[in-house]
Amino acid sequence: MATIYEVSELAGVSLATVSRVVNGTAKVRQSTKDKVEAAMRELGYRPNTIAQSLASNRSNSVGILVPELIGPFYGALLSRIESLFRAAGKHVIIAAGHSDAELERDSIEFLQSRHCDALILHVESVSDDYLVALAESECQFALINRRVAAISERCITLDNRLGGFLASEHLLALGHRNIGYISGPMWKQDAKERYAGHQQALMDFGVKENQHAFFEGDFQETSGVAGLQYFIEQRIPISALVCANDEMAAGALTAAHDLGISVPEQLSIVGFDNTNFSHYTFPKLTTIDYPIAEIGAMAARWVLAHVYQKPGEPLVSSFQPKLVQRHSTFAARRESA
């Protein structure tokens, strides 16, 4: 591979000049520029990104840390982020944190050791303090799906509370009064907020929450089946069920089939996230749309604007979820029936 040195020689100009035409960092006379470009073409020159990074102290790479690479959720995020950065000539380095504090810290260090210009973090286990400290070091990063007050200008989130509210409001409006709730792990911020939204909706409709109609799951399918089984065994009377994500909703749906409970006639179910499989279920899942790809895109724009000085459309830091009504929810039977 040709180096900048060979190009400068062939074009009969200095190293510095070649660098200028490559980067467009300063004015160069058109005729010189032409010579240089001809030389570059002739040699098939392509700048060595590694050398560029070392000299410029910028790696043109951004690190992305998500909980999992597998599963229906983060793919959409990564996909969007990758294509945006790709178009900007940056590349993404991807790591998985597996919702484990130590692994998350490791991953961040790993990404930093790779000299990423910026990070996009979707972390759940690491403490707020850690993130604040990280922000105080010279590390540039955007935080997804988590709001930390001290660094809120870097946070891009979904209004999870509103999402939880919408899910339950939908059911309440349909006439349901006995609503079960299968939550995510309550140590996770989003799980907590979604649940808070649920409670808010109950309150707004003047419905008293049945403390027993709550089951703490783990966002996995299996806890969806466990949750529904629990409610049935405990004879908790419910005509509707909100699950804090689609996986658990799918699990509950399966359990309902197995228990001979027909959905939505006997039991309405609503999920959360609108993952790609939510319309593969039967009946198709009513759920809350989580615009994860948009959020990823926004994080990418944040980086482009703050780190690469490429301002684009204005940044928005909070997104609104909305209800996607499909076939797993149904009007409650009249009590008089």
DSSP string, 197-264: HHHHHHHHTTPPP-GGGEEE--SSHHHHHHHHHHHHHTT---SEEEESSHHHHHHHHHHHHHHT--TT
d(CA 257, CA 278): 16
d(CA 136, CA 38): 46
127 binds DNA, rule: CB under 7 A: no
Binder among 68, 153, 204, 265 for a copy of itself (CB under 8 A): 68
The mark string for 32-71 relative to DNA (x by CB under 7 A, - otherwise) is: xx-----------x-xx--xx-xxxx--------------
Q: How far is the CB of 88 from a copy of itself (least distance, A)?
A: 12
The entry of a copy of itself, DNA, none near residue 75 (CB within 5 to 8 angstroms by kind) is a copy of itself
Q: How far is the CB of 10 from DNA (least distance, A)?
A: 12
Closest CB to DNA among residues 32, 317: 32
DSSP string, 72-133: TTHHHHHHHHHHHHHHTT-EEEEEE-TT-HHHHHHHHHHHHHTT-SEEEE--SSS-HHHHHH
Closest CB to a copy of itself among residues 189, 220: 220
Q: How many CA atoms lie within 13 A of 12 on its CB side?
A: 4
Closest CB to a copy of itself among residues 213, 269: 269
d(CA 49, CA 85): 15
15 binds DNA, rule: CB under 7 A: yes
Q: Which stretch binds DNA (CB under 7 A): 5-13, 155-163, 183-191, 269-277?
A: 5-13
Closest CB to a copy of itself among residues 97, 163: 97
Give the interface with DNA as residue ranges (CB under 7 A). 1-5, 12-17, 19-20, 22-23, 25-29, 31-33, 45, 47-48, 51-52, 54-57
